[in-house]
Structure 1
Amino acid sequence: TAHRAHCSNVGVTKFVKESAAGYLVEKEIKFLGDALNAPVKPFLAILGGAKVSDKINVIENLLGKVDAIIIGGAMAYTFLKAQGYKTGKSLVEEDKLDLAKSLLKKAEDKGVKFLLPIDHVIATAVDFEKKEVPAGATVKNTDGLDIEDGFMGVDAGPKSIAKFSEIVKSAKTIVWNGPLGIFEVPEFSKGTVEIAKLVAEATDKGAISVVGGGDSVSAVKKAGVDKRISHVSTGGGASLEFLEGKDLPGIAALPTK
C-alpha cells in the first residue's frame, strides 16, 4: 500500500515522534532501489502481461537504465503489429501502435537491446474462465513472427525462449514483471516457466534477480525456483510504481530513507 497515502501509512507519521519501515519494506526498497539506481551490469528487464498501457511508464523509466529489455505476453503483439507483422486475432492495443513505435525508436537511440518473440504458440480459442484449451481448438507453433488469421498468440515459442536465454544467462541484474503467455492455461505456461528457470540459473551464478507481479511470482513457484531468486517482491502495484520512478507516499512519509 506504499503507493497510496492512507491514514495507516502516511497520516499516522504526522502524530508520532518516530516512524520507520518494517524489514519487508526495507528489503523491497533495497532490491528494487539497487536495481534501478546502482545495477550491476548488464542489467536486463523482462516485462510481460496483457497491455502496453499498464507498463508504458515502467518501460520509459527503464529504457534509461537497462542494457536489454525482453517484452513478452500479449503486449508483445502490439509492438509486433507496430513493426508491420501479422498478429491474427491476438490482443493488440490499436491505439498504442504509435507509442510502441516511439518506444522502439527510444530503445534504438539509447542502444538498448529490445527483444520481442521471434515465434509463437498460437491457438484458435482459449477458455479463460475454465483456464483450458476448449474442445476442437487448434494449437500450434509458428515458424516465424507472423500469426495467421483466426489464431491468437498465447505463449512465446521455442525459438524465442532460446533467443531470450542467451540474454538472461549473460545478465548480472534482472528485474522481471509479468508472464510471457497465457500462463493460467497449463499448455501455454511453458515460456513463462522456462524464463523462471533461466532467471534462477543466472541467480545461481551470481546475478541479482527481482521478480514481482502476481503471475511472475506464481511462475517462479510453479517452476520450483522461488527460493533461488534474490528477491520475490510482494509489492504488487507499489513495486510497479516504484519501477516507474514514482515517489511512493508511504515511503516519502518516513523521516529517513
Structure 2
Amino acid sequence: MTWKTLDEMELSGKTVLTRVDINVPVRDGQVTDATRIERIAPTVADILAAGGKPVLLAHFGRPKGQRVEEMSLSVTLDALRSAFGVDVEFARDCVGEPAINAVRDLAQGKVLLLENTRFHAGEEKNDPDFAAELAKLGDIYCNDAFSAAHRAHASTEGLAHLLPSCCGRLMQKELEALQQALGDPTHPVVAVVGGAKVSTKLELLGNLIKKVDTVIIGGGMANTFLAAQGVDVGKSLCEHEMTDTAKQILDEAKQQDCEIMLPLDVVVAREFAENAPNEIVPANACPEDAMILDAGPVTIARIALTFEGAKTVVWNGPLGAFEIAPFNAATDAAAKRVAALTRAGRLLSVAGGGDTVAALNTSGSADDFTYVSTAGGAFLEWLEGKELPGVSALKNSGNKTTAPTI
C-alpha cells in the first residue's frame, strides 16, 4: 500500500490536523453511544505520545453550509474528554481567527476540537479555497475517518493534497483488514450477503462474484432469487420486478465459477411479530398465506459446513429478520460459527455495512470477528470495488514530505 501511517511521520512539535468521524447519536444534549469516539482514541494518544498536537476536524449532522447551533460539535466535548483522558479545548469555527487563535494557543498535551466543518458550504463542495484555509492551521494531515472516505469533501480529500498526509490508527486498521479480506485474500473466500433488497446490492454482488468462491444470500434478497428460479414465496418480502436481474447474477456467477448459495429450507409465519407461530418448510414450499422470515436448520448446517472449509469470510447483512425472535436463529448461528472459527485462528472475518453491526452485536459475536467496520457507506462502496476519494488522496500524497506555503 502506498499510503503512510503515523509511524512514518515526524510528529514532534507539529500540529496534526486529524479528520475524525464523531457524528454520534445525541439525546437531550448527551452522547448516547460513544463507540466512534472511543475508536479514535488510539490515534489521538499516539499523536500526543509522539509530541504532536492533535487538532480534530469533523462534521455533525447536515447543516448544509449554514451555522446551526443544535449541530455544534461542542455537544461531544464531555465524551471526547472521557475517551481521551486529557483536556479537549474547543474553537467556535474551523477556519478564520477563532480557529487560528485556538491552534496557536493549544498547549502541549492537550487536544483541540474545531467546530463542524459542514457549517461552511466549501466543505461538501471540496472548495480549494476552503481546503487551503484549513491547511493553514496545521503541519500534517491525518485522516482517521474511513467512514467518510467515500466523500470527496475538503476535510476528507482536499486537505490530503495540501499537507504531508497519513492515515490514523482506525483507518489503518480498517484498510489492512479490507486488503486482507478482498484485496489479497486467502482462498477459499466466502461472502455473506443479506438484507431486504437485491436492488440496493447489485454493484456489491457484481463485484463479489468476480472475487470470492461462494456467496451466501439471505434475508429478503434470497426470496427474490428463489422467485427468479420459479419458487412461489407466498407473501414474503420480494422484489418480483428484479427477478430477471437475479437470473442474470446467477448466470454471471456460474461463468465466474462462483457458487451462489440460497436457502434449502425456511422458517415461515403468517405475521411479522415477536414469537409469531411459525413452521419450517422446504424453500420451495412456502404456503401462499405465509412469509419467509429466516433460513431453516438444514440451511444453517450447510452454511456452517461452508465456513469450515473457508479461509476468509466477508459479511454484509443479516440472513433473516434478526430483530425479532425466533427469526434471528440463522443469523445468530452463522455468526457464532464464524466467530468460533476466527477465535481458533482458522478464519479471517471482516464484516460491516447496514444492519450487519447490529446483527452481530445481537448474536454476541462481533468481538470475535477479525474486524467489524462501522463505516457504513464507505464499507459498502469498498465492497462494490469503488475507489474511495479519501483513500486515493492519501495514496497520491504519499511522496509529500513538507507542508506547502499557503
- Specify if TM > 0.5: yes
Structure 2's unaligned 5+ residue stretches are 1-147, 400-406
1:181 counterpart residue number: 320
1:196–1:225 contact (8 Å) kept in structure 2:
yes
Partners of 1:149 and 1:230 lie apart in 2 by: 41
2:165–2:398 contact (8 Å) kept in structure 1:
no
2:331–2:363 contact (8 Å) kept in structure 1:
no
Task: Give structure 1 regions of 4+ aligned residues with deviation exceeding 4 angstroms.
Answer: none
1:206 CA displacement: 2.0
Structure-to-structure mapping, 1:77-226, within 5 angstroms? 77-127=223-273, 132-133=274-275, 138-203=277-342, 204-226=344-366
Match status 1:26 vs 2:168 = no
Give 3-state SS (helix, strand or coil) of 2:166's partner: coil
Partners of 1:169 and 1:140 lie apart in 2 by: 28
Partners of 2:354 and 2:256 lie apart in 1 by: 30
Match status 1:50 vs 2:196 = yes
Partners of 1:256 and 1:106 lie apart in 2 by: 38
1:144 CA displacement: 4.0
1:10 to 135, 152, 157: 157
1:171–1:202 contact (8 Å) kept in structure 2:
no
2:164–2:398 contact (8 Å) kept in structure 1:
no
Partners of 2:225 and 2:169 lie apart in 1 by: 39
Deviations 1:129-152 (A, max 9, x none): xxx35xxx5421113433111111
Q: CA RMSD in A?
A: 1.6
Higher CA-based Rg? 2
Partners of 1:79 and 1:208 lie apart in 2 by: 28
TM-score (norm 2): 0.59
C-alpha distance 58-144 of structure 1, shift in aligned 2 (>3 A):
closer
2:207 counterpart residue number: 61
Give 3-state SS (helix, strand or coil) of 1:187's partner: coil
1:28–1:235 contact (8 Å) kept in structure 2:
no
Structure 1's unaligned 5+ residue stretches are none
2:398 counterpart residue number: 256
TM-score (norm 1): 0.92
- The structure showing larger relative contact order (alpha-carbon pairs under 8 Å, at least 6 residues apart) is 1
1:236 to 359, 364, 376: 376
Partners of 2:398 and 2:193 lie apart in 1 by: 31
Partners of 1:179 and 1:18 lie apart in 2 by: 40
